[in-house]
Amino acid sequence: MHYHGLRRFLLDNAIIYALLAFLLDGEEFLKAIQDPKEPPLIPHHGLPFLGHVVGMFWYGASYFARVNERTQYPIYTLQTLNARTIVVISPQLAAPIQRASKSLSFYGMILEVTKRLVDFDEPSMKIIRYNLDGELGHSEGLMIEAHDMVNAVLSPGPILNQMSSTQLDKFSEVLNAFASGSNASEINLMDFVKQTFTIANAFTVYGPQNPFAIHPSLVQKFWDYEAGMIGVMANILPWITARKPWAARKAVNAALQEFVEKEHYKTASPLIQKRVAINLKHGLTTKMAGHAELILLFGILGNAVPTTFWFLVNVFARPDLLAQIRAETIQAVSTSSDGNEKVVSVAMLKTKCPLLVSTYRETLRTIANLSSVRLVTNTHNITAPGHPPCLLKKGSMIQIASGVIHSAESIWGANAKSFVPNRFISTASQLPKNVPSAAYRAFGGGSVICPGRHFAQSEILGFMTLCAHMFEIESAKGGVMELPTRDDGRIPLSVMKPVKEPIVKIVRRKGEEDVVWRLDLN
Ligand code: HEM
């Protein structure tokens, strides 16, 4: 071989070798040069840099537990392409992480997803990114103002009470009209919950001129988008690769734009009147202020609907539990003197029906696997009792692995993987003894803890109780319905979904055929 040719050959192969060596052992190398205070890196030996990404897609919600099976670290790092994901398994460490909202930003992590989810344009993103976490040292900016307003409106108080009352009335109206007399309805149970909740929530939150009331076909379209939103967000020619959800989002967004432009929001709840006003004040166009409502619709419906579905199946698939819940909640029911009207006190459900409340919380424990995400915007040290100080470097992404925490025997005991309806009975904190509060993660935690949790609890307890007293819900073939299997293969974007949505038969309970049932907040 000619000298220059030989040199070239050796050089090329050396580069390929170095590259291969780095790729094959690259994660080991990164591990070796880590600061010992950083969460330990768990290298992927088979497919460095890519393996953990593939694993997350392949195994969905269960991947964080699988990768940590051998090591059992309370906090660890995964190298994903050129980014670092820090996975938090210990609730003791989750607590200070969710408190440090200035350096560990929720919004920093979800903004790109939000942009793709609702189709925001770049000028809107610029407005939204301004002083996102108060980094400019003052509290001006769209996100800070909107966050504070939503938290104030949805905290216990007169506005929340008004919204909850409207919602409960609407549920009563819809359920009294459903399966009346001795008629049985055969229906997909998830669709039943979707229909009822979408109609009732849209009316309660967005008012009588809400887009779903004006264009009823949008109820199905909203859920078509929800089912296929990952394909739309991937944004690879979505009008071809994810046609149905893409067209569905277009229709919902157009109606939300119309809702803002025709000023229908002026007849909506204070939550929406204030929200649209803030968005417009900070410079969003009417079109983009419409799109902004799509994200709130996901907040309102995306978790509450599948949670209610699981609550119903967890109770109706267990005849003993159903009987206990009927017996317990009957205390909250008052009957008119002629026996034609029965009213459920939702306040009494919360205070006098511990099994009902506990079953709701246990349902959430078993299905709320959505990780709490944060972006490290400033290198940050965290300390927690029983753990050495831990260094979180700027640019890392954090995932507090709710699914792993919710099923850990070290936290919940030997029956952690079983459904135990009365697990949350007894203590004032509504947590079993010795379980730290950051271990119950259904509503996230810290400054972005779900502001809708009080509203959600009233509506879901009320809906469940009405169903328990008004209906028998059986399998379509007759008899006790089967418990659906949880779809662990999907990456959760909300609470978990079932592998298959059951078809059920819903019929009025004997003796209740002609009774009008109502829900009262007090
Ligand atoms: C069972 C039902 C629900 C569940 C399980 C749930 C769960 C969650 C979770 C996990 C978060 C993220 C918090 C974090 O990462 O720390 C969140 C945020 C949020 N949720 Fe809920 N949610 C539910 C119902 C609702 C309802 C009914 C509403 C509105 C009425 C709502 C409005 C919101 C909003 C606005 C945020 C964003 C908070 C912020 O930006 O500070 N949620 N929710």
Q: Any idea what the CATH number is for the domain that residue 471 is in? A: 1.10.630.10
Residues 453-506 have pLDDT tens digits of: 999 999 999 999 999 999 999 999 989 999 999 998 777 788 999 999 999 999
Residues 123 and 43 grouped into a single domain: no
Higher pLDDT, 432 or 197: 197
Whether 99 is in a domain gets the answer no
Average pLDDT, the chain: 92
Residues 356-393 have pLDDT tens digits of: 999 999 999 999 988 999 999 999 999 999 899 999 99
Residues 127 and 69 grouped into a single domain: no
Whether 358 is in a domain gets the answer yes
Determine contact, residues 419/314, Cβ cutoff 8 Å. Answer: yes
Whether 105 is in a domain gets the answer no
Residues 13-32 have pLDDT tens digits of: 667 656 665 566 666 767 76
ipTM: 0.98
% the chain with pLDDT above 90:
77
Residues 118 and 83 grouped into a single domain: no
Residues 246 and 298 grouped into a single domain: yes
Instruction: Report the separation in Å between the CA atom of 60 and the middle of ligand 1, taken as the mean of its atom positions.
Output: 21
Is the pLDDT at 3 greater than 60, yes or no? no
Residues 32 and 164 grouped into a single domain: no
Number of domains in the chain: 2
Work out whether the CA dihedral 468, 470, 474, 476 comes out positive or negative: negative
Ligand 1 atom nearest the C-alpha of 151 is 41
Residues 377 and 483 grouped into a single domain: yes
pLDDT grade for 286, boundaries at 50, 70 and 90: very high
Higher pLDDT, 348 or 234: 348
pLDDT of the residue at 1 = 47
Whether 109 is in a domain gets the answer no
Whether 95 is in a domain gets the answer no
**How many other C-beta atoms are found inside a 10 Å radius of the C-beta of residue 367?**
25
Its domain, for residue 38, covers 3-89
Residues 390 and 427 grouped into a single domain: yes
Residues 80 and 175 grouped into a single domain: no
Residues 248 and 386 grouped into a single domain: yes
Residues 77 and 119 grouped into a single domain: no
Name the range with the highest mean pLDDT among 1-5, 53-57, 444-448. 444-448
% the chain with pLDDT above 70:
93
Pocket-forming residues, ligand 1, beta carbon under 6 Å = 106, 147, 150, 154, 299-300, 303-304, 307, 368, 370, 372, 442-446, 448-452, 455-456, 495
Residues 368 and 267 grouped into a single domain: yes
Whether 98 is in a domain gets the answer no
Where among 89, 106, 134 does a domain terminate? 89
In terms of DSSP H, where are the helices of 379-487? 402-406, 409-412, 453-470
pLDDT of the residue at 81 = 80
| Model confidence, pTM | 0.92
Residues 165 and 81 grouped into a single domain: no
Ligand 1 atom nearest the C-alpha of 459 is 27
What is the best residue among 143, 149, 450 to mutate for testing ligand 1's pocket, by most ligand atoms within 8 Å of CB? 450
Residues 49-92 have pLDDT tens digits of: 888 988 888 887 678 888 888 888 999 999 988 889 999 999 99
